[in-house]
Amino acid sequence: MRLPKPRGVLSEWVLGRLAGTPSVGDAPAADGPDDEAIALWALHEVLYRGFEDASDDAEGDVGLFAVRHRLESGLEERLRSRWAGSDATADVGPAGVPAALEALVAADHGPSLADHVRRHADRDQVMELLRQRSVYHLKEADPTAWVVPRLPVRAKAALVELQFDEYGAGDPNRLHAHLFARGLEAVGLRPEYGAYVDDALPETLELNNALSLFGLRRRLRGAAVGHLAAFEMTSSLPSRKLVQGLDRLGMDGPMATYYDEHVEADAVHEQLAAHDICGTLAEDEPDQVDAILFGAFTCLDLEARFATAMFSSWGVAR
Amino acid sequence: MSQDFAHPDVVLCPHGPMLVRGATSIQDADGTVHAVERPVVALCRCEKSSRLPWCDGTHKLIPR
């Protein structure tokens, strides 16, 4: 993947420095949320597959690390203020975590992209949705893989059991990110990793940046697995609707196969995530309870913001 | 602290599916045998799944 296009003065500074161009002065203040989001996304990407046109030294650049740290802190503060402003912050003990996750998900009434795809979306809207989703799905499960070494025994074993399935249980053909790439190709979109980052809405980038933030900070391990639980708990039924929508539009084939796989897989994963991962982490490290619920709330909240942005870009009232 | 943890092969989820670990095939209620391709499977217990014998999350739509 090549470096994305800058979206303002901060991302221009960051991307230039990633490319190895000597930078002048300190990082400037961001032009806005979009500028900030693409800068942080690129700084995180250095830690995943990286960019073919970025310098390998970027990983150890303390100037870039300082910018990343500042942007991550700003993002966390923003996410926490949304969590504090919600009415979901109930007093929950460790044993109550699986039920609290269930309650959070049940109380979520964000606009449903899956309902729209199932019944109304046209082909262009589905293609746009897939381009936006590709930013995450082509690195599906990767942000959560950072968390493995940070967990106690039971949660670690359970997370790896879940991730093993995400990564195809040893079969590269069944690796979820690869299934999505095959799906993109089949519907005529570009399957290369990171192909549509320049088209990503700020909401798409924020969603991805939050996943990386939770995965990369040990302190936020609870938020990472809480996010995972909420994601898995809101996946099976919507995936089935997406399959129906793709079939309705004559887009059956590998992309429908990708979502079809998630109907059954995530019915398993949601149980593992809520009980075996989040439940045991809460029991073993009770100070992570709040982080778990914060992560779950953030997943639902960012998905709702993303869905709202998509509907608004299509001029569809929700 | 090191201890043995409970790690059952079959788990009944409250108001949810039955998780089965390490199975290679499952026979459904009609007698059809399904190959298992994932390390853990969730078997439907509410009988409303569109993917029997697998759970598809439909139980969450059923009032308790």
Say yes or no: A20 and A43 in one domain.
yes
Work out the pLDDT band at A23, boundaries 50, 70, 90.
Answer: confident
Say whether the peptide bond before residue A254 is cis (omega within 30 degrees of 0).
no
How many angstroms separate the CA atoms of B62 and B52, rounded?
16
For chain B, what are the domain ranges? Answer: 10-61
Say yes or no: A28 and A153 in one domain.
no
Q: What is the mean pLDDT of residues A268-279?
A: 96
Please calculate the CA angle B46-B51-B57 and round it to the nearest 5 degrees. Answer: 50
Q: Provide the shortest C-alpha distance from residue B17 to chain A (in Å).
A: 8
Encoded amino acid at A280, one letter: T
- Give the pLDDT of residue B1: 59
How many angstroms separate the CA atoms of A150 and A156, rounded?
8
Say yes or no: A121 and A232 in one domain.
yes
Say yes or no: A97 and A140 in one domain.
yes
Helix A254-271 with A221-233: angle, nearest 10 deg: 120
Question: By residue range, what is the domain housing residue A78?
Answer: 9-82
How many angstroms separate the CA atoms of A224 and A298, rounded?
10
- Give the pLDDT of residue A28: 95
Say yes or no: A235 and A198 in one domain.
yes
Q: Provide the shortest C-alpha distance from residue A14 to chain B (in Å).
A: 42
Say yes or no: A298 and A179 in one domain.
yes
Q: What is the DSSP letter of B54?
A: B
CATH code where residue A207 lies: 1.20.910.10
Q: A1 lies in a domain?
A: no
- CB A268 to CB B61 under 8 A? no
Cβ contacts of residue A76 below 8 Å, gap of 6+? A213, A220
How many angstroms separate the CA atoms of B40 and A165, rounded?
8
Work out the pLDDT band at A24, boundaries 50, 70, 90.
Answer: confident
Q: Render pLDDT for A183-202 as a digit per residue (tens, 0 to 9).
A: 999 999 999 999 999 999 99
Residues A111 and A300: beta-carbon distance below 8 Å: no
- Give the pLDDT of residue A10: 97
Structural domain ending residue among the three candidates A57, A82, A107: A82
**Look-up of token digits 């940070």:** A150
Q: Taking CA atoms, what residue in B is nearest to A240? A: B56
Say yes or no: A73 and A183 in one domain.
no
Say yes or no: A35 and A149 in one domain.
no
Q: A190 lies in a domain?
A: yes
What is A185-205 written as a DSSP string?
HHTT---STTTTGGG--HHHH
Residues A21 and A53: beta-carbon distance below 8 Å: no
Work out the pLDDT band at A171, boundaries 50, 70, 90.
Answer: very high
- CB A165 to CB B51 under 8 A? no
Helices (DSSP H) in A109-253: which residue ranges? 113-119, 123-137, 142-145, 153-166, 176-186, 202-216, 221-233, 236-248
Beta bridge partners of B14: none
Residues A165 and A158: beta-carbon distance below 8 Å: no
- CB A236 to CB B5 under 8 A? no
- CB A264 to CB B13 under 8 A? no
Phi, psi dihedrals of residue A118, rounded to the nearest 5° = -60, -45
Choose the closest CB to A265 out of B16, B38, B61.
Answer: B38
Q: A274 lies in a domain?
A: yes
Say yes or no: A13 and A138 in one domain.
no
Q: Render pLDDT for A70-102 as a digit per residue (tens, 0 to 9).
A: 999 999 999 999 999 887 766 899 999 999 999
Say yes or no: A111 and A39 in one domain.
no
- Give the pLDDT of residue A89: 63
- Give the pLDDT of residue A234: 94
Say yes or no: A124 and A62 in one domain.
no
- Give the pLDDT of residue B37: 87
Nearest to A148 by CA among A169, A163, A165: A163
Work out the pLDDT band at B63, boundaries 50, 70, 90.
Answer: confident
Q: Render pLDDT for B6-52 as a digit per residue (tens, 0 to 9).
A: 999 999 998 999 999 999 999 999 999 999 988 999 999 999 999 99
Q: What is the mean pLDDT of residues B2-7?
A: 86
Q: A32 lies in a domain?
A: yes
Query: Across chain A, what does the average pLDDT equal?
Result: 95
Say whether the peptide bond before residue B53 is cis (omega within 30 degrees of 0).
yes
Q: A116 lies in a domain?
A: yes
- For chain A, the domain total comes to 2
**What's CA A291's distance to the chain center, in Å?**
17
Chain pair A-B, CB pairs under 8 angstroms: 60
Work out the pLDDT band at A237, boundaries 50, 70, 90.
Answer: very high
Q: A216 lies in a domain?
A: yes
- CB B40 to CB A165 under 8 A? yes
CA A90 → CA A294, A300, A303, B21, distances in Å? Answer: 11, 16, 21, 34
- Give the pLDDT of residue A266: 92
Q: A2 lies in a domain?
A: no
Q: What is the DSSP letter of A313?
A: H
Judged against a pLDDT cut of 90, whether residue B64 lies above it is answered with no
Q: What is the mean pLDDT of residues A41-66?
A: 94
Work out the pLDDT band at A22, boundaries 50, 70, 90.
Answer: confident
Say yes or no: A193 and A174 in one domain.
yes
How many angstroms separate the CA atoms of A25 and A8, rounded?
16
Q: Where are the beta strands (DSSP E) in A106-238?
A: none
Choose the closest CB to A271 out of B13, B50, B58.
Answer: B13
- Residues of chain A with Cβ-Cβ distance to B13 below 8 Å are 271, 275
